[in-house]
Chains A and B, each alone.
Chain A
Amino acid sequence: MDRVKPWPFPPGTWYNKALVKPLDWLFLALSLALTVGTAWWVFAPSDAPLRVEVRDPDGTFLYPLDESRSIEAKGPLGITRIEITRGKVWVDDSPCTNKVCIAMGKISQPGQFVACLPNQIFVRITGGKTNPEAPDAAVY
């Protein structure tokens, strides 16, 4: 099946010899724009204090990032244990098969996340600055 059709670039030009064609750049630009756009949406700085947002099937729970604690989040597979220590958060144990959430390691910056998708647990850091007068935990 021949799909060669007339095009403004004559045969033998750079575009016809190279592996990269004009519209490749368009799709590359579109991909990069979506990456930057969604990154801005997720990582946009905020004046709210730094908090750890833990989302499980029962709801969303907020904890201050600067207080050490161990959290047990319940998902369809069982309990995922999350640790907050010295401004860092990580998944310590989870009943999922591949343990990608544990392998994702520790997070400490706003916008970073750890997810255990099989157990439907999301952990992310929200806000942008530390507020010493923030409540210990809030539930909604």
Chain B
Amino acid sequence: MPRSTKPVRTDLVAFFGALSLFFATLEYLFPKPIPFFRLGLSNLPLLVSLGFFSFREQLLLLLLKVVGTGIVNGTLASHVFLFSTGATLASFLVMYGLYRVLPTRAVSLTGISLAGALASNAVQILLAMTIVYGPASGVVAPWYFGLGTFTGLAMGWGAETFQNHSKWYGRLRGQG
């Protein structure tokens, strides 16, 4: 009996995890205006997959993204990993919660991405101020929130456009 060529869900989680790593590496192409600020490209797979992954599958994807990025960037055993984990977890919980609770007519992936960026940046600043660098690191807050607004808008708009126009994504949602 021939094996099915249809991807199983764990394959999809792995594929989206690999996409996250690819985007995390792409981020190195862009100059960083302030230390540790990230565009959030690697969050795009998390954002796009909100529509068809369960909570546990999303958590697995998040784990792949955080640990994989830590290994690829060599930050797994540093405080950067704490930032990355805290920010990604906060951003995911906010995005997942809003996506499940709010109706599609009320909020698009743009708004959900903005809320996720807000949570991610707030957690990073709080971690920096309370655990890693001390209160003086709060001076980066306006830059983080300001730039985070622009990148959150851009990522969300990109994800929303992709969701509305991609046939591949449409087939995935149908399968899910």
Contacts and interface: CB of A to CB of B under 8 A. Distances in A.
Q: How large is the interface on B (under 10, 10 to 19, 20 to 34, 35 or more residues)?
A: 35 or more
A34 B141 CA distance: 9
Contacts of A98: 32, 35
Given A3-B99, A31-B118, A124-B136, A21 B106 contact: yes
B107 A21 contact: yes
Contacts of A53: 136
Interface residues of A, number: 46
Contacts, number: 125
Given A19-B157, A19-B160, A28-B149, A3 B103 contact: yes
Contact of B106 (A7, A19, A103): A7
Given A21-B108, A21-B111, A35-B145, A4 B139 contact: no
A9 B105 contact: yes
A5 B114 contact: no
Interface string A13-45: 001100111111111101110110011011100
Interface of A: 1, 3-7, 9, 15-16, 19-28, 30-32, 34-35, 38-39, 41-43, 53, 55, 60, 98, 100-101, 103-104, 111, 113, 115-118, 120, 122, 124
Interface string B11-50: 0000000000000000000011011100000000000000
Contact of A20 (B102, B108, B112): B108
Given A7-B106, A35-B145, A42-B139, 20 more contacts: A6-B103, A15-B105, A19-B108, A19-B157, A20-B110, A21-B108, A23-B106, A23-B107, A24-B111, A27-B112, A27-B115, A27-B118, A28-B111, A30-B115, A101-B35, A103-B31, A117-B133, A117-B137, A118-B35, A120-B133
Contacts of A43: 142
Q: Per DSSP, are chain B's interface residues mostly helix, strand or loop, or mixed?
A: helix
A98 to B, nearest CB: 8
Contact of B134 (A1, A3, A27, A55): A55
A20 B102 CA distance: 14
B105 A21 contact: yes
20 contacts: A1-B52, A5-B103, A5-B104, A7-B105, A19-B108, A19-B110, A21-B108, A22-B107, A30-B115, A31-B114, A31-B152, A34-B118, A34-B145, A35-B145, A60-B136, A111-B139, A115-B139, A117-B128, A118-B35, A124-B136
